[in-house]
Chains A and B, each alone.
Chain A
């Protein structure tokens, strides 16, 4: 009976020992995400009445293209759909007619069992008919092949279009890194990509770990990010707005929460954004305590904040507060959500690679306040 013994011993100790001040529990309270990205996006759209709708059906649909590659794919899809629907109607039509006629013939034969012969006429084949249904599909297939190859050649270009903006996209388990190389220094951000409207964007796709796939359906078809290999793809947003997408190649536990947000800004806005991002991190003396927490704990091993740390494993946080979301695009960024996330990321995104550092509530508040100043 060791269990009972232990219990009674503990009870005895309880009585004997003086009351101790409560130690802050190591287990974080249960958290839920406050608000939703959809609601947030709806508000963002209100601020920009000219933008395309962000919420609602078709927000990631392939039939609502806003960029040349996806538009060309949509047009080709209509053609192929059209051909397939004709084939569908013809084949299923023949099937239905064959069934109706066959069932009638069966009933007729059943009614007059003696008069008609035992079995219907046996037809073993017909060379002309069989040639017809070999040749006609071959012609259709030839046409489809030709238009397909033409579209492939239009979209799958091997060199960057003129005057394009180059963005390096690096897939991580389970977030996106975007790097904007440039003569004035590289800008690094995560999960939310800004691009100028109307200018081709040349994406250089790499992976830090396993295979991912970059898919923003309204801008372009998907392309894999493969470790040990560099792929390229491109798009050019037709209009201002937020274009959503997500990782399309199964990449492990949180594949479902590896969302992409592409903000297409007016060129001037984009340049402003880029200049802001290029600045070093804000140093606000009022949140010095939080800055110290960040620097003293393991945060800095994984996260870069310009001028403070250079960790590479997690998203760059230099301008975290300029983003709308955390957790790779599925949690609206506000103080409560950020605090909950830092306290225990695995509650909001089970299986993610960021550990809970078990900060005490004061440290947690301090580091959250600090990060919220990083505009």
Chain B
């Protein structure tokens, strides 16, 4: 009950992350069924309709009910602590946003119980997570399954918007004395840009979904080509949301890396101002690349060239970040704790996802590779090898702050290696099957095309990943019962959250801290050589 009525940003954050992890298990089980079905050509583990529901629900869940809430949850937990505030700017709005997310998620999953209305119960959405018109029209999607998809995401989207407003207000107005913008922890910058992107992108999705709902229930014709509506309009609207969304999902993970990597390299983040510039640059450019999801729509050579160019361009600030992290590690004294393993894995995997991204920005290559398994491999390298590895790093890093106990390192390292190996087994072969001509979203494939071996390897990776996740859950349960007590500052780190107790009191700080540089705790620990000298 204390939790249900709480407006404390830390409690809300832990509920965000906990709920996100539960949805992560659900989405993972959906993926496991798909991999079981695709392990061999012509398998009949699930029927085609079920398979189509599985990939729709998997994608929707992982983006909206796992990635967003966990990352927003970390933002919620860390922003007030790291900028030295007692809570978010609008605590009740914060709680409202969280409960909207929960309600939206449950509404979406209620479709498994009652979505098809008069046509029979128990049908989840099956239109794919980007729900292209006119497959979503009443003609091609009967019953109510698509309506559940619209409403569930629409509701949780409102939650994300309120959270974004809260982030911006807190970061801009509630920093402790001395914390100028250019002294903020890097993660605060990342969350600030994310919050602006949420405010720009999510309303577009909400509006598009409302239009689709009008089409389906009130007889409007926005996306209905039979009555001069436009099927492509949906794609423009969806991807104008969808591409910033990718950066909403990766920028917080960049933030985790930018906090964790310095701590375990024992060095200050290399090139802070350029890092800030790159983050803001990514924020702006990400608003101008959406049609690279539409290179096979036939937009014509001019638009294809423009969006290819902007997509290439975004790799420059992204590359800067990677180089700055390398610069941070360079000459450091690296300690491979579990969080450091995960963020190093993040950098290695994200480089691969970035390079396949460059291939996909090469428009003619996308004419071949779009909607193939190559794309599936690409975005899992970004969102799993990137975002999810970042999340695991963050979980291991801040768990002691939130609970006062250190997760077991030995189990943690096992978790990392199992996830790393399982991930590579599953997603690396997808690049090959895609280049061999296997389209995505097929419930089965022909036996003569050379896809089998690559699909089998992909499927073999699944149990390995599941073992990693199971070990992590066991680690959490065990640590909560009898984990090593962490103390206030187990990693000897430099940002403000480590200057208060673990777990922090409800009011965060007994006295509001003051800040003399980007690493206030470094200044306290090294009064002879404070960072302020180098600003």
B333 close to A (CB within 8 Å)? yes
Residues of B within 8 A of A106 (CB): 333-335
Residues of B within 8 A of A274 (CB): none
Contact B329 A248, beta carbon cutoff 8 Å: no
Given contacts A120-B266, A137-B319, A221 and B362 within 8 Å (CB-CB): no
B residues with CB within 8 A of A: 47-49, 52, 126, 128, 132, 134-135, 139-140, 225-226, 228-232, 265-268, 270-274, 296-298, 300-301, 304-305, 308-309, 312-313, 315-316, 319-320, 322-324, 326-327, 329-336, 344, 347-348, 351-352, 355-356, 358-359, 361-372, 435-450, 526, 531, 534
**Which A-B residue pairs are the 9 nearest by beta carbons?**
A221-B367, A228-B225, A57-B450, A60-B437, A102-B334, A38-B448, A256-B442, A231-B298, A125-B271
11 contacts between A and B (CB under 8 A): A59-B448, A91-B351, A94-B326, A126-B270, A137-B320, A222-B367, A229-B225, A244-B449, A245-B437, A250-B132, A252-B52
Q: How far is the CA of A120 from the CA of B329 in the complex (A)?
A: 11
Query: Contact at B364–A148, with CB atoms within 8 Å?
Result: yes
User: How many Å lie between the Cα of A224 and that of B333 in the bound state?
Assistant: 53
Chain B residues positioned under 8 Å from A247 (CB to CB) = 439
Q: Which residues of A contact B134 (CB under 8 A)?
A: 209-211, 227
A329, closest chain B residue (CB)? B446
Q: Told that A60-B437, A124-B272 touch, could you supply 5 new A-B pairs with CB distance under 8 A?
A: A38-B447, A80-B359, A217-B368, A223-B296, A229-B298
The segment out of A151-159, A186-194, A283-291, A355-363 that lies at the interface is A151-159
- Tell me if A95 is interfacial: C-beta within 8 Å of chain B: yes
Interface hits, A118-167 → B, CB 8 Å: 118-126, 129-130, 133-134, 137-138, 141, 144-145, 148-149, 151-153, 155-156, 158
Determine the chain A residues whose CB is within 8 A of the CB of B316 once the complex forms: 134, 137-138, 141
User: For B270, what are the chain A residues with a Cβ–Cβ distance below 8 Å?
Assistant: 123-126
- Inter-subunit contact A223/B534 (CB<8 Å): no
Q: Once the chains bind, are A350 and B331 in contact (CB under 8 Å)?
A: no
Give the nearest-CB partner of A129 in chain B. Answer: B327
A99 x B334 contact (CB < 8 A): yes
Q: Are B446 and A259 in contact (CB under 8 A)?
A: yes
Contacts between the two chains (Cβ within 8 Å), count: 303
Closest to B131 in A: A250
- Interchain CB contact under 8 A, B226 and A228: yes
Decide: A210 and B135 in contact? CB cutoff 8 A. yes
Is A88 an interface residue when CB atoms closer than 8 A count as contact?
yes
CB–CB B446/A152 < 8 A: no
| Closest Cβ–Cβ distance, residue A135 to chain B (whole Å) | 9
**Chain B residue with the shortest CB-CB distance to A233:** B298
Minimal beta-carbon separation of A19 from chain B (angstroms):
38
Interface residues of A in 32-81 (CB under 8 A from B): 36-38, 41, 54-63, 70, 72-73, 76-77, 80-81
Separation in Å of the B333 CB from the closest CB of chain A? Answer: 4
Q: How far is the CA of A155 from the CA of B304 in the complex (A)?
A: 12
Cβ of B225 and Cβ of A149 under 8 Å apart? no
CB < 8 Å: which of B232, B265, B274, B437 contacts A62? B437
Tell me, yes or no, whether A251 is within 8 Å of chain B by CB: yes
Q: Is A302's CB within 8 Å of the partner chain B? A: no
Question: CB within 8 A of B364: which of A73, A121, A249?
Answer: A73
- Cα separation A303 to B351 with both chains bound (whole Å): 52
Q: Is the C-beta of A87 less than 8 angstroms from some C-beta in chain B? A: yes
What residues of B have a CB within 8 angstroms of the CB of A92 in the complex?
348, 351
Whether the pair B448, A37 counts as a contact (CB closer than 8 A) is: yes
